[in-house]
Structure 1
Amino acid sequence: MHYFLHSERELFVIIDPFLWSSIASGYRLDGADRIFSWRNGSLTDQYNVNVHFVTQTVPTGAHKALVKTQKYHLLQKGKGLQNEGKTMEDVNGYIQMIDFSAYSLGTTDIDEAAVQALSENLMHSFTTSGFAYLKNTGITDEQVTSVFDVADKFYDLPVDVKQKYRRNETDFHERHGWVCMEGENLGKLNGLQRPPDLKELFNIKPPLSGGDSWPSEVPEFEETCMDFFNQAHDLAKRVLELIARGLGTEAAEFLDMFKFIGKGRNSSHLRSIRYPPVPETVKENQVRCGEHTDFGCITLLFQDNAGLEVAKGDGEFVAAPPIADTVVINIADTLQRWSADKLVSTKHRVMLPYTPETRGTTRRCVTFFTHPDFDAVMKCLDGSDKYPPIRAEDYVASRLRKMYL
C-alpha cells in the first residue's frame, strides 16, 4: 500500500509496533489523534484507535521507538483519511468529518444527488456517534474569531460592570445575558455531584426580553454577535432540512416548527463561552464543563482549543479537537426523543487540561443551540407512541429546573 504525507494541522504519532500492546492497554500519548506503525522505513497499518492526552507515563524505552512526531495529515491511496471526492472521512475512530459543500451557505446550484448523499452521511453519524465535523459550510474561521475577539472584550470588563448584563434565571427559559464564573453546573443534568463549571458565558437570544440589554461598553458586540447568529441559524436550518429528509419527514412541515428562531417564542440562542486558564487551586472534582447532553435539537460548536470529549457506547470518552474551518455538530435530547431514538444525543464534557502547559491556556467556543418553537408539539416522527407528545417549551423548562434547582 502506498502512502504519502501532506502538511496539515492535525497531529499524528508514528510508533514502532512493539508499543502497540502497551498503548492498547491504556497508555496515552500527548496530543495524538491516531496511531500508525512504522516498518522498514515506510508507513503500514492504520490503527483505528483514539488517543487522549497524557494520563499515564509511557513505558520505559518508549521514547526510543518514537520515529516521528509531526503535524501531518496522512493520505493513503484508495483508503485514506482524505481522498479526492470523498465526502465523509474518519477523524478519530468515532466522529466523522463530512463535506457540506453540496449544501453550504450561499450555494444556489443544488445537485440533488449530492444533497441526498450528504443527508445519508449525516444520518450515518447522527444514528451512531451523534456527532460529526462539518467542513465547507460557508462559515469561516475568520468569522468565528471575530466573535471570540468581541466576546473577550466583554469578559475582560470588571465583574461589577458585567453584572449589569447578568442573565435572568427565574422563569426557566433560556434567556439573554451573562453567566458568571461558576454560575452553571451542567453535570447536575446527569446526576453528577460536582462543583460548578469553571467557565463564564454570554447568551445571545434575540429578540431581547424585558430587562435584557446589549453591553454598551463594547459597541460592536451586538452587530458582530447578531451577524454570526444569523449565519449559524441559516446553517442549522439547512442541517435540519437534511435530517428531515433522512427521517422521511416532510421538510417544509418540519422546518415550520422552527419559524420563530430569533423572533420570539423559541429557545434557540447563540452562546459564547470562555474557559479561563486553570487557577492553582480548584475545587475537588471540578471541571470546565460537566458531562451532559444538550437540551434542544442540534448544536453547532465552533472552538479554538482542545478540551471537548465525547462519550462512546462503552463509556470511554474520545477527544474532539478543533480542526480548522470546521464546525462540530451534535444531536440533542429533543431530537432524539422526537425521532423515537433513531438519532442519538451523546454525552460530552470539557475536562481540565491534562498537562501543565495546557492548563495555562484559555479555551473559547461559540455554540448555536437550535430548538423548536415553544408551541411545537413533539410527537414521534415515525408515527409510533414510544414517547407521549409534549410541548417543546415544557420539555426545555423541565430540563432547566433540573439544572438550577
Structure 2
Amino acid sequence: MPVPTPELGSFNFVPETKENLDWADLITVDFSIYDSPEGKKELAQTLIKAVREDGFFYVKNFNIPQERVNRQFNIGKQFYELPLDEKLKYVPEGLTEGKFNGYVPAGRYVRDEASGLKDRVEIYNIPKFNGDFTHIHPELVQDHLAEIEEFSRSLHSEVLDRLHVLLAIALELPEDYFLKIHTYDIKSEDHLRYMKYTKYTPEENLKLGGSWVQDLGSWTLLFRQPVAALQIQNHKTGQWKWVKPQDATLTVNACDALSLLTADYVKSTIHRELELVSVSSPPKDQEHVDRLGLLYFSRPHNDVVLATVDSPVLKREGYTQNKFEVSGHNVPTMEEWTFAKQKWQRTPGARNDIKHRTAEILPGWKEKKYDEY
C-alpha cells in the first residue's frame, strides 16, 4: 500500500532526442497476461528468448503508477542538489574495499590520461529495509524513507518476483525456485540507486574512450528517462544498438549471478552507458543535459552458492557447469562474488592498468579488458 508522502513538487523529464539512432528491437514482457496459467507459459518463453538474444527487455503493466516513479526521480534530483560537503558525509567506509551503500562521489577515475579528464558520475545507493542494514541518510532522504521503502518492496512483489517465477517455468523448475533465493526479508545486497551523470562539453566527449560493463547480480531494473544514453550488444550478432526509452515501461537486463546459476545459458548482458563509459558523443540535441538515473539491483541471498541449477532444460541443452565448476575451483557465494567484483571495480586509478583490467578476482575467474569490442 502506498504510504503518506510529503510534498515534493513536480519532476520534468527532458525532451526525447529527434536523431535517427540505430535502436534495438527489444522484446516486451507484458504482465497483463501473467495471472493466467497460459499467460505465464507464454511469458516464460518470451522472457527466455529475450535473455538469450539481447539480454535487455522491456516490462510493462507492472502495477506501479508513474506518479510514484516520478517521485523517486524527484527525490534523486533533490539529493544531487545538496552541497557536496553534505553528500560526502555519507561516503561508505571501505569504499575501495567494495562497500557501496551510501554516496559514491564523482572524480574517482581518470577518463582521459592526456588531459586528466575525470569521470562525472555520482551514485547514491539505498540498501534493503529488512533489518540487516543501517539507514543513515541526509534529512532529505530520511524525510521520504517510508515511501522509498514502499517503492523498493513493490519492485520485488510487482516485478522481480514475477520475473523469477517466469524464469523458473522457462527452465522447467518449480515456480518458487528462484523466489526462494531472492526473498526480501533475507540478507542480500539489493539496492535502489539514484545516479547522476553530469554532462561533458562536446569537446570533452571527443576525448573519452570506450568501455563495456556487466552487472553482477540477478536483474537490473532501469526506469525510463528520455536521455539516449544506453547501448547494448546482441548476444548472437555482437552488434551494438541503442536502447530507446519507452513510455510506461521498465528496461530490465540479466546479470552475472543468473549467468553463473545457468552456466551461461542466461547471459549477463554487455552494455555501455554514455557519460559513464562513453563510446561516442551523445545525440547532439541532448549533449547539453545532465542525466538522472533511477535503478534497482536485484541479487540472490548472500549465502547462495552460485553453482549451476539442476534444470532439465539446461541438461538437454548442455549447460551443466559454469566457469568455476569447469575449472575445478570453489564456487563463490553471492556475497563473495559481490565484494570481489565491487572491490575490483572500485579500485581508484586502476582502469588504465592492463594488469587490473585482466586480474583474477577470484580463483577461476579472470576479468576481461573493458575497452575493446
TM range (shorter): 0.7 to 0.9
8 Å contact from structure 1 (residues 154, 218) kept in 2: yes
**Which residue pairs with 1:304 in the alignment?**
225
Secondary structure of 1:378's counterpart equals coil
Aligned to 2:308: 380
Give the SS at the match of 2:212. strand
Q: Using the TM superposition, give the Cα deviation of residue 329 of structure 1 relative to its aligned residue in structure 2, in angstroms.
A: 0.7
Instruction: Give the corresponding residue for 2:41.
Output: 116
Match of 1:257 among 169, 177, 181: 181
Aligned counterpart for 2:214 among listed residues 284, 288, 293: 293
Return the alpha-carbon distance in structure 2 between the equivalents of residues 195 and 297 of structure 1: 33
Instruction: Determine whether 1:101 maps to 2:25.
Output: no
Does 1:203 find its partner at 2:125?
Answer: yes
Matched, 1:238 2:226: no
Distance 1:131 1:118 in 2: 15
1:57 equivalent in structure 2: none
- Which residue among 293, 296, 299 is the counterpart of 1:365? 293
CA positional deviation for 1:169: 3.5
Deviation at 1:214, TM superposition (A): 1.6
User: Match for residue 165 of structure 1?
Assistant: 90
The equivalent residue for 1:82 is none
Query: What amino acid sits opposite 1:242 in the alignment?
Result: L
Q: Which moved more, 1:151-160 or 1:378-387?
A: 378-387
1:374: Cα distance to partner? 0.9
| Structure 1 residue 373: Cα displacement | 0.7
Per the TM alignment, residue 118 of structure 1 is displaced from its structure 2 partner at its CA by 0.9
Contact kept in structure 1, 2:217 and 2:258, CA below 8 Å: yes
Indicate whether 1:214 and 2:137 are aligned.
Answer: yes
How many angstroms apart in 2 are the aligned matches of 1:113 and 1:269? 33
1:127 aligned residue (41, 52, 61): 52
1:367-405 CA-to-partner distances (Å, cap 9, x unmatched) read 111111111112211362344233111111221122123
| Inter-partner Cα distance in structure 1 for 2:136 and 2:186 | 16
Percent sequence identity over matched residues?
23
Distance 1:119 1:385 in 2: 23
Alignment gaps of 5+ in structure 2: 1-14, 276-280, 326-330, 348-373
C-alpha distance in 1, partners of 2:95/2:51?
34
Query: Cα offset for 1:145?
Result: 1.1
**Number of residue pairs aligned between Structure 1 and Structure 2:** 306
Q: Deviations over 1:303-344 (max 9, x none)?
A: 312211111244432111211110001110110111111112
Query: 1:226 deviation in Å?
Result: 1.7
User: Where do 5+ consecutive residues of structure 1 fail to align?
Assistant: 1-9, 12-28, 33-50, 53-91, 104-109, 188-193
1:198 is displaced (CA, Å) by 2.5
2-structure distance, mates of 1:341, 1:247: 13
Q: Secondary structure at the match of 1:377?
A: coil
- The match for 1:276 is 198
Q: Secondary structure of the residue that 1:204 maps to in structure 2?
A: strand
Query: How do 1:2-41 residues align onto structure 2 when only pairs under 5 Å count?
Result: 31-32=19-20
Query: Larger relative CO (CA 8 A, sep 6+): 1 or 2?
Result: 2
Task: State the one-letter code of the partner of 2:77.
Answer: D
Give RMSD over aligned pairs. Answer: 2.9
Query: Which of these residues, 247, 251, 256, is aligned with residue 328 of structure 1?
Result: 251
Q: Considering only CA atoms, is the larger Rg found in Structure 1 or Structure 2?
A: 1
In 2 relative to 1, CA 283–327 (structure 1 residues): closer, same or farther, beyond 3 Å?
Answer: closer
Q: Does the CA-based 8 Å contact 1:165-1:212 persist in structure 2?
A: no
Q: Structure 1 length as normaliser, TM-score?
A: 0.68
Q: 2: distance between equivalents of 1:403 and 1:274?
A: 18
In the alignment, the residues of structure 2 paired with residue 196 and residue 131 of structure 1 have an alpha-carbon distance, to the nearest angstrom, of: 29
CA distance in 2, matches of 1:378, 1:285: 39
User: Match for residue 78 of structure 2?
Assistant: 153
Q: CA deviation at 1:271?
A: 0.9
Deviation digits for residues 263-300 of structure 1, max 9, x if unmatched? 4631111111122233476487437x952010011111
Which is richer in strand?
1
Secondary structure of the residue that 1:340 maps to in structure 2?
coil
1:266 aligned partner: 188
Task: Give the whole-Å Cα distance in 1 for the aligned partners of 2:305 and 2:51.
Answer: 22
Please tell me whether the aligned partners of residues 77 and 292 of structure 2 are also in contact (alpha carbons under 8 angstroms): no
Matched position secondary structure for 1:201:
strand
